[in-house]
Amino acid sequence: MARIDLQAWLPILVLAALVAVVSLYDPGFFTIANLLEITANTMTLFLMAAGLTFVIMIGSIDLSVQSVASMASCILAVFLPTLGLAAIPLALLGGVVAGALGALISTRLRIPTFIATLAISGVVLSAGFWISNAQSIAITAEARDAWLGWVTGAFLGVPNEIWVGLVALAGLSALLQLTPFGRLIRGVGAQEQAVIASGVRVERVKLWAFVISGFMAALAGVTMAGRLGSGSPTLANEFLLPAVAAVVVGGTAITGGVGSIWRTFVGALIIQVVRIGMTFMGVSVFVQQIIFGILLIAAVAATMDRSKILVVK
Amino acid sequence: MAAQGLAGRAPRPASAMAQERRRAAAGGRLIEQWRRWAPVVVLIGLCLVIGAFNANFFSTGNLVRLLNSAAIPVVLCMGATFVILMGSIDLSVEGVVALAAVVASLLVANDVTAIAIGHLAIVPALAVGAALGFLNGWLHIRLKTPSFMTTLGMGFVGLGIATAILGGVTVRISDQSFRYLSLGRPLGVPMAVWVAALCVVVALVIQERTRFGRWVYAIGADEVTARQAGVPVERTRILAFVIAGVFAALGGVLAAAQFGQGHALIANGRLFTTIAAVIVGGTALSGGVGSVLNSVIGVFIVVVLANGMVLMGIPPYVQQGAQGLLIIAAVALALDRSKLAVVK
Amino acid sequence: MTITTAAGGIARRSFLKGAAGLGAAGVLGAPFIVRAQDATWTLANSMRSVANPYHATFAKGGEEFAKSIGATYEVLVTEGNSEKGIADIKALLQRTGGKLILNVDPNDSPDARTIVEEVQAAGGFVVTQWNKPDDLHPWDHDPNYVAHMSFDGVPNAEAVANALFAAFGGEGGVVALGGILSNVPAIERKLGLDNAIAATGGKVQLLDFQPADWNEQKAFDITQAWITRFGDEIKGVFAANDGMGLGALEALRQNGLAGTVPVVGIDGIDAAVAAIEAGEFAGTVAWDPFWTGSMGLAIPYAHATGKIDITKEPHEHREFYGTGIVVTKDNVAEYKANPPQTDFNDLWGKATGQIQYRSA
Amino acid sequence: MSDAVLEVEHVSKAFPGVKALDDVSFRVNRGEVIGLIGENGAGKSTLLKILNGVYQPDAGAVKVDGRPVRLLSPRQAFDSGIAMVFQEQSVLSTLTVAENIFLGREQEFLRWGLIDKRRMNAAAAVELKKVHLDIGPATPCARLTFAERQMVEIAKALSLDSRIASDITILLDEPTSVLESREVELLFSIIRDLKARASIVFISHRLEEVLAICDRIYVMRDGKVVAEVPAAEATVHALHTHMVGRQLHHEYYREQRQSPPGDEVILRADGLGKAGAFRDVSFELRAGEVLGIAGVIGSGREELARVLAGHAAPDAGALTVHGRPVRLAGASDAVANGIGLVPAERKVEGLVAQFSVAENMTLSALGRFASRGVIRFAAERAEAARWVERLHVRTPSTAAMTGGLSGGNQQKVVLAKWRIAGVEVLILDHPTRGIDVGAKEDVYELVRDITADGLAVILLGDTLDEVIGLSSRILVMRDGAVTATFDAPAGGKPEQVRILEHMV
């Protein structure tokens, strides 16, 4: 396969360096318990970013993932008492519908996805408020243990969230590496006209990319609701930009074509280690945002594959 | 086999192809004409609907209030338009506005620092905007990183510095002459509206009458042709981000004057409304098409909608959805789709 | 500049030690890092962000108490993201090996349950502020869940609403700005307003209610629209917090109504108190965040050092309301003259009764 | 001092595998209109790119007014007095006429940093008068017709007149290809009265127009200047013979392997038409047949190819595949009906540079290489290996990145893609463009293999010689209409000259 050059390993090196820096400062950071803890905390961000990876890999963007996650948490919380386990697929269906809507508006009305998904996020936010009647809805402890154990519990000493994340990582990576759909995602991102000219229905590929993005955003919302024990129309606030950052910092090009799910897994961990690391290192609260901004630009500059991009807009 | 001499033949008859092409071009111009006016039509339509629901939408008082609510977004959109015209995007607007507001409020008479240099404070605030803008452009060019990510990072840096300078305290401005920038009402129209109008004029002059302005359109239309004609593409790109930074900083100064205080969250939520306004106004995200005037129309569409929804008593949580649907409708009408081979 | 050098750069101790790397910040920003003499316990306050005055004073209260006992003190911010808030707390528990006394204002009420469970598991002590699920009680998680401090949004909102009605003679229409619809304080304060309006027996009507999501820019724009819609029917403006109240006030000022149409807010930030003095605000409710910031650490510290045994304290010492001081133009001078003092040892001095639960 | 305004002396330029220019010299004197003609691939476009500063010569020099000049960018060429009027317009539609004329040269009109639009428009009006274009200098170029935009570009060239010391040479590249005869007359009258101000190099396929306007004509072939003919003595026929040189031997085009067309009609077109491009095109395409389409730019053959490949919709006429009428709404419909396009721009529409050879080859038949949703990589590798071997694709492995291969090998990957997809009709749009001479013969060999396997081919040849050599039947198109049809059986190939008569 393609020769492994530094470019491919960079995200992992960056993550290792960051963990080393924080651990140097505070050895307590580098314990199995803590590393598991941090990984578990990262999973909701990873689930949302994993879905977003497909969309960014075809050179598009999905700004509705944050509202979709919040809406999914509301659907779950509202229908869990009545429908029980069926509330989960219902919440995921909500994400699928939102994703499909974003894709159809973009392909049919030929509107850039930035604007189409920005508009959809408004519509989905309204839906979230309507479903939850504008308040956060608690999920009773029994309901949580009965149907959300796969989120809240642990297995073999590892928090279930990590298992959910690993399953998603494996599943989506297989989808990307092993299936025709995955290959077409890479193709559309690298050279869309050539894929169209080869007789492929590109609209369908884009539709599925956004459906996966919606599905994963909803899964992130359900996981979040499981962790916090409630759903709310603003549960996933401040999740959109970190999710996009996780994808790009992992090395997936914002302009499409290059990327993978494991890169996003590492990217999400990098974002989390940077944010939590700064708390660990007692970096003053006032400086954290400055460092986060600088590291974001540096990480993008480092992981970008410039060979392909002629004009960087 | 003697070939009959061709030289003697009369030039070819008027070919049908060229005539058909001419007719098609004329038809194209009609649609092109209509598309340019689509945003205005949407705005007028919106006003009529709201006016029908609530007559005093058209009262002079309300028109002045609409102008007042639109003042700061218009200033922010002037800068954002130049960047989008070149096919790039500036996500750092919230960071720059916050930092400029904080810097301005710390330098006029306030309750935190002893400094009080009055209106002079505007200059360092704009300088801060220019500096962040320059960093946006310079890093984007030097590191060849997409403007989406570069400006996103710079936005966080701006917010961070604003929070760091204040250490959580909110600066209350006591210099009433500085606050005249927002409270003053020459000829019955709030000062902020005059400032915004001045910004539109300045932006128009920049767009129409300066080399930079024409080069922005050239780069947005076809960067390769522009470069071959000798247009300094890198310098123009960086200057566009600097100008966007200065306008955003002026927006920050106006916000500080409006609320009589400066703090890091003053620009919360302005980013997506600014970009949505520029796009709804008819400026294409891919660059080359649109103008600062389109963006002014875009701002009024967004502001009138928000104002109208309150006037019509639309339930609170439906408003977000209504704004989303309007954005789709306005952009679908205004976008010139013929030449977009691939919509990303 | 590759990422690794940037990360390496951070390791330089000097850069970290300074609370803020920036010279300017050093001058103005209070460095929130207080190094420990009493190394056993780490004290920490967690809140939404340090960029708003209410939370800044809350953080300051905690810092002053930590200084008074020479304990390590740190500040955590959620930036509005529940996940980040919880992750930071877990990280701190990990770092301090459970020796953590936490005073937390959860980003959203569901977060409180997860935080309490984490602290209890690590053996630390936690006091929650404002937001928590109704079925979560300190006495069910003895001794780690020390107490829940809140302010009864309903009666305080009712009181300040009445101050508003009094300011315009008790007759006419009012408009109301709400916080983020799904936040507990927002729901409580709306309920308080509704009760006050009901109590006037129809003399006062609610013209319109719109959420402005605690954001003064939204408050400004909505108030402008109201002035168009209702014009002089508006006799008063009720805002669920001072930030939005000030936004509304500026909108009134643009239309020459500042001072004639009274405004009320909640939180008691300096700007609101100043507006009351200027006669433009009819009232606010001062929560004294300095008190909650320090008491939320003092009580669990007292238990941790054995001065008290929290498990034996009555329920009204485990879930209690703080005193919201309704500040109006009558008592504003007196309030400013002697701002609420906080005696770190008088643990429950300002507690006013146990928290009651109403069906929301 | 010789009054040579522009001289090219012993210029050579080579690209990997092909010698584009071989010791080319020519002169343009003041006030002269020089014709430059030659078949596609004769080196004309490379020469223009050197004069326009896009390429630099490997040897020899370009002189303006006798002084050698180094041209490193189009802007430097322009400032030295060499102005290019492109085939595909470099006028920016978002700017006005005046702004296009003075793009990048606005300093002259600055007053306190602002552009004095009045003065700029006035200056532009002066130039527009020179080309008799009665259009306001402030008109946005989006509203101009092709001919009007061309006049703006010429006006832009003339604007150098009073602004630089050296004389101006205007290079017109295929200026009349999309003009109406009335517009051609207008262009010629303008060129005639420009003689006082500038010298002109007129590059065109339309030989009778070259004869009508030029003073002297250079003929290029295979990267060399083969003849310099004063227009007065020249005839179209004489020019044709210079252009054509010896007919390449039959072996080059594998003529002996040209199979007679089968009897089953695969693809039929009846009265196909598209506004502004072509109309009333009808033909039948049989298995094993190569239908060549001859025509120059503006003949409509490129647009026809795109319609047949489903990339564009026709306005009139019908297409039938195996007797069934079909409507091609997109490339996917065409491929479904067994029609594949080998595009002129391989890197844009042909293949995905980042994909491996195997991934590109199976792109159009991905369904067949997956079972239960998972790609059968072994089967894919095997199929790719088979075609790499069969088409002699020089690649380190089927896993190698396609972007790294040479032009010829990339073309073979595209052909393999369509063979694997099992198409019955292959549209070859300039299949040998940008391919070195050696690899061209491989492509010709492949065309023979394809037809031998029973596929039908529609060929838009790069050169007329190639069309004649490969095709079994030739449609000649000019200005959107089919002007003639020639049978071209092996051994009975038509003369190039007879086709040229209907083509230009």
CATH code for the domain of D474: 3.40.50.300
Residue of B148, B156, B161, B238 to mutate when probing chain A, most A C-beta within 10 A: B156
- Which range marks the domain in which residue B167 is found? 42-333
pLDDT digits (tens, 9 = 90+) for D158-197: 888 878 888 889 888 888 877 777 788 888 888 888 888 8
Q: CA-CA distance, B5 to B15, in Å (whole number)?
A: 22
Q: Are residues D176 and D212 in the same domain?
A: yes
Facing C4 at nearest CB: one of A17, A239, A285: A17
CB-based burial label for D161 (10 Å; 0-12, 13-18, 19+): middle
**Has residue C342 been placed in a domain?**
no
> Going edge to edge, which strands form the sheet with C38-47?
C71-77, C38-47, C100-104, C125-129, C145-150, C319-321
Run of H or E including B152: helix B147-166
**Has residue D343 been placed in a domain?**
no
Q: Are residues C267 and C312 in the same domain?
A: no
User: How near does any CA of chain C get to the CA of A14, in Å?
Assistant: 6
Q: Are residues C108 and C205 in the same domain?
A: no
Q: Are residues D125 and D237 in the same domain?
A: yes
Facing A110 at nearest CB: one of B272, B319, B343: B343
User: How near does any CA of chain B get to the CA of A152, in Å?
Assistant: 31
Nearest-CA neighbor of C80 among C194, C180, C199? Answer: C180
Segment A205-223 mean pLDDT: 96
What is the number of alpha carbons within 13 Å of residue A112 lying toward its C-beta? 22
User: How near does any CA of chain B get to the CA of D397, in Å?
Assistant: 32
Least reliable range by pLDDT among A126-130, C121-125, D86-90: D86-90
**Are chains B and D touching, using the cut-off of 8 Å on CB pairs and a minimum of 3 such pairs?**
yes
Residue D309, token pair as written in the block: 């490949």
**Has residue C219 been placed in a domain?**
yes
Q: Do A180 and D367 touch (CB under 8 A)?
A: yes
ipTM score of complex: 0.83
Segment A93-121 mean pLDDT: 93
**Has residue C4 been placed in a domain?**
no
What is the C-alpha R_g of chain C? 22
Facing A183 at nearest CB: one of D335, D336, D366: D366
Which of the four pLDDT bands, split at 50, 70 and 90, describes residue C8? Answer: very low
Q: Are residues C316 and C281 in the same domain?
A: no
Q: First and final CA of chain B: distance in angstroms?
A: 58
Q: Do A233 and C182 touch (CB under 8 A)?
A: yes
Total domains present in chain B = 1
pLDDT digits (tens, 9 = 90+) for D128-146: 988 888 889 999 888 888 7
Q: Are residues C99 and C124 in the same domain?
A: yes
* Contacts with A114 from chain B: Cβ below 8 Å: 89, 275, 285
Q: CB-based contacts of A83: which residues, under 8 Å, 6+ apart?
A: A90
Going through D214-369 in order, the beta strands assigned E by DSSP cover 216-221, 224-230, 265-274, 278-286, 290-294, 316-321, 324-326, 339-342
Facing B344 at nearest CB: one of A59, A123, A245: A59
Beta bridge partners of D6: D28, D64
**Has residue D217 been placed in a domain?**
yes
CA dihedral of D324, D329, D330, D333, whole degrees rounded to 10:
-30
Nearest-CA neighbor of C119 among C135, C95, C100? Answer: C100
**Has residue B25 been placed in a domain?**
no
Q: Which residues of C touch B (CB under 8 A)?
A: 20, 22, 24-25, 28-30, 49-53, 55-56, 59, 178, 181, 208-211, 215-218, 220-222, 224-229, 231, 246-247, 250, 253-255, 269-271, 274
pLDDT at C3 over 80: no
Residue D163, token pair as written in the block: 């602004």
**Has residue C300 been placed in a domain?**
yes
Q: Are residues C224 and C292 in the same domain?
A: no
* Contacts with B183 from chain C: Cβ below 8 Å: 253-254
Segment A232-236 mean pLDDT: 88
Choose from B16-20, B135-139, D222-226, D256-260 the range with maximum mean pLDDT.
B135-139
pLDDT at C317 over 90: no
**Are chains C and D touching, using the cut-off of 8 Å on CB pairs and a minimum of 3 such pairs?**
no
Facing A198 at nearest CB: one of D374, D399, D417: D417
Q: Are residues D8 and D112 in the same domain?
A: yes
Which of the four pLDDT bands, split at 50, 70 and 90, describes residue C10? Answer: very low
Q: CA-CA distance, D418 to D438, in Å (whole number)?
A: 23
Total domains present in chain C = 2
Segment A158-182 mean pLDDT: 94
**Has residue B10 been placed in a domain?**
no
Q: Are residues C78 and C139 in the same domain?
A: yes
Facing D95 at nearest CB: one of B1, B217, B228: B217
Q: Are residues D470 and D451 in the same domain?
A: yes
pLDDT computed for residue D142 by the predictor: 81
Facing B258 at nearest CB: one of C51, C250, C269: C250
- Which range marks the domain in which residue D329 is found? 250-338+423-503
Q: Do A126 and B340 touch (CB under 8 A)?
A: no
Q: Are residues D47 and D129 in the same domain?
A: yes
pLDDT computed for residue A213 by the predictor: 97
* Contacts with B339 from chain A: Cβ below 8 Å: none
Q: Do A114 and B285 touch (CB under 8 A)?
A: yes
**Has residue D345 been placed in a domain?**
no
Quick check: C133 contacting A, CB < 8 Å? yes
CB-based burial label for A145 (10 Å; 0-12, 13-18, 19+): exposed
Choose from A2-6, B214-218, C48-52 the range with maximum mean pLDDT.
B214-218
Q: Are residues D202 and D103 in the same domain?
A: yes
Least reliable range by pLDDT among B47-61, C191-205, C335-349, D368-382: C335-349
Query: Which B positions 125-144 lie with beta carbon below 8 A of chain A?
Result: 139-140, 143-144
pLDDT computed for residue A309 by the predictor: 52
User: How near does any CA of chain B get to the CA of C231, in Å?
Assistant: 10
* Contacts with C18 from chain A: Cβ below 8 Å: 284
Segment D119-125 mean pLDDT: 93
Q: Do C250 and B163 touch (CB under 8 A)?
A: no
Q: Are residues C72 and C157 in the same domain?
A: no
What is the number of alpha carbons within 13 Å of residue C263 lying toward its C-beta? 34
pLDDT computed for residue B22 by the predictor: 63
Mean pLDDT, all residues of chain A:
88
- Which range marks the domain in which residue C256 is found? 153-286
Least reliable range by pLDDT among C14-28, C267-281, D297-311: C14-28
Q: Do D348 and A193 touch (CB under 8 A)?
A: yes
Measure Cα distances from C245 to B176, C284, D50, D284, D378 in Å.
20, 9, 70, 80, 69
Quick check: C75 contacting A, CB < 8 Å? yes
**Has residue B164 been placed in a domain?**
yes
pLDDT computed for residue C184 by the predictor: 80
Q: CA-CA distance, D73 to D78, in Å (whole number)?
A: 9
Last residue of a domain, one of D203, D221, D244: D244
Angle between helices C109-122 and A202-228 (to 10 degrees): 60
Residue D312, token pair as written in the block: 């564009």
Q: Are residues C37 and C81 in the same domain?
A: yes
Q: Are B306 and B295 in contact (CB under 8 A)?
A: no
Last residue of a domain, one of D399, D422, D445: D422
State percent of chain A over pLDDT 90: 50
Facing A1 at nearest CB: one of D334, D370, D399: D399
Q: Do C114 and A228 touch (CB under 8 A)?
A: yes
User: How near does any CA of chain D get to the CA of B339, in Å?
Assistant: 12
Quick check: B63 contacting C, CB < 8 Å? no
Total domains present in chain D = 3
Alpha helices in chain A (DSSP H): 6-25, 32-57, 65-83, 87-108, 113-131, 141-147, 149-152, 160-178, 180-197, 202-228, 240-249, 261-280, 285-303
Residue of A286, A288, A304, A306 to mutate when probing chain C, most C C-beta within 10 A: A286
User: How near does any CA of chain B get to the CA of D323, in Å?
Assistant: 30
Q: Are residues C211 and C65 in the same domain?
A: no
**Has residue B31 been placed in a domain?**
no
Query: Which B positions 239-278 lie with beta carbon below 8 A of chain A?
Result: 272, 275-276
Q: Are residues D171 and D22 in the same domain?
A: yes
| Residue in B closest to C18 by C-alpha | B164
Segment A79-87 mean pLDDT: 91
Q: Are D500 and D491 in contact (CB under 8 A)?
A: no
Segment C6-20 mean pLDDT: 31
Which of the four pLDDT bands, split at 50, 70 and 90, describes residue A249? Answer: confident
* Contacts with A293 from chain B: Cβ below 8 Å: 95, 153-160
Quick check: A312 contacting D, CB < 8 Å? no
pLDDT at D235 over 60: yes
Quick check: B210 contacting D, CB < 8 Å? yes
Q: CA-CA distance, D195 to D32, in Å (whole number)?
A: 7
Nearest-CA neighbor of D199 among D229, D167, D161, D174? Answer: D167
pLDDT computed for residue B341 by the predictor: 62
**Has residue D348 been placed in a domain?**
no
pLDDT at D1 over 50: no
Which of the four pLDDT bands, split at 50, 70 and 90, describes residue D421? Answer: very high
**Has residue C75 been placed in a domain?**
yes
The arrangement of secondary structure in A6-303, i.e. its CATH architecture, is: Orthogonal Bundle (1.10)
* Contacts with C95 from chain A: Cβ below 8 Å: 26, 28-29, 280
Facing C24 at nearest CB: one of B57, B62, B165: B165
Quick check: B208 contacting D, CB < 8 Å? yes
Q: Are residues D414 and D274 in the same domain?
A: no
Last residue of a domain, one of D198, D215, D244: D244
**Has residue C102 been placed in a domain?**
yes
Please tell me the pTM assigned to this model.
0.86
Residue indicated by tokens 């240099």: B117
Quick check: C135 contacting A, CB < 8 Å? yes
Amino acid identity for residue C188 in this structure: E
Q: Are C222 and C176 in contact (CB under 8 A)?
A: no
pLDDT means per 10 residues in chain B (344 residues)?
35 55 64 79 93 89 91 95 94 95 91 84 95 96 89 93 84 87 88 95 93 92 87 94 97 93 86 90 86 94 91 85 90 68 70
pLDDT digits (tens, 9 = 90+) for D323-377: 899 998 889 999 999 999 999 888 888 999 889 999 999 999 998 999 998 999 9
Residue A223 has a CB neighbour count (10 Å cut-off) of 28
Q: Are residues C240 and C168 in the same domain?
A: yes
Residue indicated by tokens 């300088």: B127
**Has residue C66 been placed in a domain?**
yes
Facing A199 at nearest CB: one of D336, D350, D375: D336
Q: CA-CA distance, C234 to D483, in Å (whole number)?
A: 82
What is the C-alpha R_g of chain D? 25
Residue D137 has a CB neighbour count (10 Å cut-off) of 24
